Every structure is written in C-alpha cells, then in structure tokens.
Structure 1
Amino acid sequence: MLPLCEIKDTDLNKPGIVIIDARGGKDSWQRYMAGHLKNAIYADLDKHLAASVTDAAVGGRHPLPEIKDFATLLGTWGITPDSHVIVYDDKSAANSAARLWWMLQAIGHEKVQVINGGLQAAIHASVPLSTDVYTPVPAVPYPVTLTYKGTADITETAAAAQDDHRLVIDVRETARYLGQTEPIDLIAGHIPGAVNLPYVKNLDADGNYLPAEALRKAYEEVLTNVEPENVIVHCGSGVTACHTLLGMAHAGIIGPKLYVGSWSEWSRRGLPIATDKR
C-alpha cells in the first residue's frame, strides 16, 4: 500500500477505514472542532503520540510513548491489524500526521496512509467537513512487539555522523541547522557531520508532496552511495523528521531510521555542536 493517498481517490466511507485527525499545537482541539473530516478521530501530538517529558536531555521533547500504551490507545480508537488507517493534519503532514504514520508502520501496521495535502486538499476537493465529535467503537489493545522498529539512539547517531558509509540527515530549516537562529531549543547549530535537507523541499507550492520520481531524485543526490538502511533522519524533536521518512517511503526508499531524540536531546547533552554563521 502506498504511504500517501490522494483525497479525490479515497473512499472515506469504505468499511474498515479509520480516519485520524492528527493536528498538533495548543489550539489543535479548537481547530478540530471548527471543522474536520466526517468520523475523524482527534489525535493530540503531546497526549497521544508522545510520552510525557521528564528530561528532554533523555529522549528529547517528543519521546515515543511506551509501546504498550500506544497499543492500548490504538484499541481505544478501534484500530486492529486489519484496519485501513488514513491520517491527515493541516500542516502538509509536517506536524503530526507523518509521525502517526511512522509509529504505525514501526509496529508493523501495513494499511496506513497519509492524505497528500492534508485538510487543505480535502477542502479544495469540496469534501464536506463536520463539527461533530466522533467516538469510535473500541477494540482490544493492538498486538505489538517489544519495541518500535527503525529507531536510532544518540550513540548510533553520533557514530553514523562520522562514518563515510553512513549518513545523518537534519530536516530542520537551514537557518537552524547553520546555527543562525534557534527558536525552540537551548543551543543553535547541528550535529557535526550531519547534512541538511529541509523538509519543506519535499513539497510543491500547494503544500502537496512532490511526485515520487522527483522526491527520489532529490534524496539520491544527498544519499549518493549510502544504502538506505545506513541513513538516520532527525529534526528538532522527532516529529518533522517523519515527514521526510514518509517522503522517502513514497519514493521507494525503504530502511532509513528515525533519531527520535533529535536536536532537542543532542543539544542538551554537552556534545559537540557545529555551526556555520556565514
């Protein structure tokens, strides 16, 4: 199943479909209530897709929830291994939709897609919105393994950034990567050895993902001869990096890992930091 779906080609009323509105931000509930796809379940980034932060220096600002807690949540949402999950947000998947997609595929769920263009694409396609709160029929906790697949910790990331046969990609805005500004975390800069490929380059002017062929060409220019399984992607807190991991999957590049702690963890550990303030 392709990781991206086009809203015009998607039958949201088909049996077995579970729709998740994964908008993030402090006002996400208000935005959800102002209009969402019919029967869409509200998902909150901080409450549902991340664990509580006790120390951002260990796990970053958006650590993954315990896998058993995530399994229970999926059961509450009525998601089973047979469910076809369709996720969207209002930030071209850069906020929470891609994160939920990544989490689901990381526990082995196969039928999960993100709406290309998100809520804006649905509105443009004249899909009617609802202001009703949808309550799903719960199921048993989702059967999971012991851990999320495809993650890299801080030690592996540090080693990979200094290895010519591996690659660490930082998807944050170039100004943050260069250390020219840092609006969120404590210190500006980047992991020494990491390359910058801002996630916004995944998108066209309308906020849709570029075609798979264009994405693959752009990624391969950065990957050069590095095998996908030797690539680690990160951002500020392990959320936006999933946008690029989704784009890679759409382009047929399978195997890159997510450094969940990302810059929010690295920058709090007293580790080397590179800057370029040209």
Structure 2
Amino acid sequence: MPLISATDLRDRFSAFRLLDARPAPADYAAGHLPGALHADLNRHLSTATEPGHDPARGGRHPLPSAARFAAQLGAWGIGPDTEVVAYDAAGGSNAAARLWWMLRALGHERIFVLDGGLAAALEAGLTPTVEVPAQEPRPPYPATDWRLPLVDAERVEALSLDPSRKLLDVRAAERWRGENETFDPVAGHIPGSVNLPWTDNLGPDGRFKAPEALRAQYQALLGDIPPEQLAVHCGSGVTACHTLLALEMAGLSGAALYVGSWSEWCRGGRPQSGVSA
C-alpha cells in the first residue's frame, strides 16, 4: 500500500528518509519531524521558480525533467534501496502525493505517504524540531525518464471527445462548475470532463478511506472504462496526484496525469465550459 500510518512510522522511525512536502519553507523552518528534509513544491517538485516560467506552457507547477529530479533525490541521499516517507499538513494533497507520484514515476517502490500527515504524527507522539538534518549526498537516482503515463493538452483535447476515455477533474465542485476560481484567471472546466473532488478520497478524520470504499467510489465513476483509459487533472497537477494515489489504493492503477491541468488549459485559448465560460 502507498500509505503508512503514524504509529508504523513512529515504531520504525529510523528506517526512513522523511521528506516534508508542505509548500511553505517557513512552515518547515518553524518545525518539522526529526530528520525530515524539505521537498519544496516550487523548487524541487516543479519548475515554478525558474526564470521565464509561463503557466500557459506546463501550468503553475510544471514537472522538472526526470534527470533533474533524479539528481535531487541523490542530493537528498535517496537511492533505490531507501525507504521514503512523504508528509504534508493537508491529508497528502499538498504536496506529499505529488512527491509520491514523482518517485513512483522514476521507478522507486519504497515511497509512502503518511496517512493523516503531520497532525497524525504529532498525535502518535513524535516531536517536531527546527534542526535541519545534514544531507548525505549520493549519486543521482538511476533513472532518466518518467515511467508513469502522462498526457499533454493536445492529448487531453482528443481524449475529451473520445467516449472510450474519461477525463477526471479533482478540483472542488464549485471551481469545476465555474462558480469560483481563486488561483487561475478563468473559471470553468475542460469540456467533457467529469468532477470528483480529491477531498472525497478522505474520511471525516482527514485520513484516506479504506481501499474497498475507494474502489467502489472510483468503479462507480469509471463504469466500464478501464483505469488505463482515465486521465486525471486538477488546477496545477498537484492534487491530481492525491487521486492517483487513491486509485492505487483501490487497485485501479494505470491512469495518466495531466500536469498542466486547468492552469495551463485556461490560458491557451482552448474550449472551456462552466457558468462563466
């Protein structure tokens, strides 16, 4: 399973390399789990801080190259034998699940998301620290390509018209309907997409639903379409990974990620649907 409980983490704490995926460097500096390094969404998990970054080409959080991320993993001391735990403070949605997807996409198997995030770890008795651990660099991770399926805007436009495929938008329902948009300049959704918010992956306690519940949820959405015919997106390719993780838990792996997501789509003069379109 791609998840680890806070108690399992606590009981095997020294076995893992921890990565704190909360987006704000200030949050990490104010306190993080002992031994955790900061995986910055904008600097490490995307190229959002690169000069010339244009959300119309790749969205607000475009992927770095696989080679660049492989080098970063080496700088963090992560190799194929390293057990990694990623956590954030939002149920895995921002951006622990993105980190999980990126490691899996390089072929790394030993990557887990902490179920319940930082709050669950504190409830389990782990104590935060402000100490930044020393890094023990290794060679770049031995991978040069993303190995999980990706789709670009052109492919999304084609599959949105294909009845044998399904396009899933995991943003909040009011954003999908075009009633509210706080991150991007245009409200609405990609024509032909369906909506199931990533928050539906979690129970009232902020932790993932049981695998069987997730399977029932996504089988109802897919109908007779296999998961390999599904593409998932969100606003900028981050919370979409939360749903890809939930699909993995449900035994429905194989869906593609549209990294550019709505943030790229809405800036490119492409067709749009929604109350404000």
TM-score, structure 2 normalization = 0.95
SS in 1 for 2:113: strand
Relative distance call for 1:56 and 1:148 in structure 2 (3 A) is farther
1:81 matched residue in structure 2: 80
1:34 counterpart residue number: 30
What residue is the counterpart of 2:189 in the other structure? 190
Deviation (angstroms), 1:200 = 0.7
**1:41 is matched by which residue type in structure 2?**
L
Structure 1 stretches (4+) deviating beyond 4 angstroms? none
Matches within 5 A, 1:95-244: 95-244=94-243
Alpha-carbon distance in 2 for matches of 1:252, 1:239: 21
Superposed CA RMSD: 1.2
CA distance in 2, matches of 1:135, 1:159: 48
CA distance in 2, matches of 1:136, 1:13: 17
Aligned to 1:261: 260
Q: What residue number does 2:13 align with? A: 13
- 2:35 partner amino acid: N
Q: Partners in 2 of 1:148 and 1:124 — Cα distance?
A: 36
Distance 1:232 1:76 in 2: 32
Output the CA distance in 2 between the equivalents of 1:147 and 1:256: 14
SS of alignment partner, residue 98 of structure 1: helix
Q: CA deviation at 1:6?
A: 0.7
- Quick check: 150-159 or 107-116, which moved more? 150-159
Tell me if structure 2 keeps the 8 A contact 1:103–1:148: no
Which amino acid is 1:168 matched to?
Answer: L
Distance 1:248 1:149 in 2: 14
2-structure distance, mates of 1:148, 1:186? 32
Gaps of 5+ in 1: none
Report the counterpart of residue 63 of structure 1 in structure 2: 62
Write the deviation string for residues 94-113 of structure 1: whole angstroms up to 9, x where unpaired: 11100000000011111100
* Pairs aligned (count): 272
Q: Retained in 2: the 8 A contact 1:168–1:232?
A: yes
Q: 1:136 offset after TM fit, Å?
A: 2.1
Q: 2:70·2:144 contact (CA, 8 Å) conserved in 1?
A: no
Q: Using the aligned pairs only, state the percent identity.
A: 47
CA distance in 2, matches of 1:272, 1:235: 16
- Out of 234-243 and 54-63, give the one that drifted further: 54-63
Could you list the runs of 5+ residues in structure 2 that have no partner in the other structure? none
* Amino acid aligned to 2:31: G
Structure 1 residue 148: deviation in Å?
4.6
Matched residue SS, 1:20: strand
- Measured in 1, the distance between the counterparts of 2:25 and 2:55 equals 25
Task: Give, in angstroms, the shift of residue 127 of structure 1.
Answer: 1.5
Equivalent-residue separation in structure 1 for 2:247 and 2:221 (angstroms):
12
SS of the residue corresponding to residue 13 of structure 2 reads coil
SS of residue paired to 1:176: helix
Q: Secondary structure at the match of 2:112?
A: strand
Moved more, 168-177 or 131-140: 131-140
TM-score normalised according to structure 1 size: 0.95
Distance 1:206 1:236 in 2: 24
AA aligned to 1:4 is L
CA distance in 1, matches of 2:53, 2:232: 24
Aligned counterparts of 1:257 and 1:72: Cα–Cα separation in 2: 24
Q: Deviations over 1:227-271 (max 9, x none)?
A: 111000000000010011111111111100100000011001111
**Structure-1 residue corresponding to 2:270:** 271
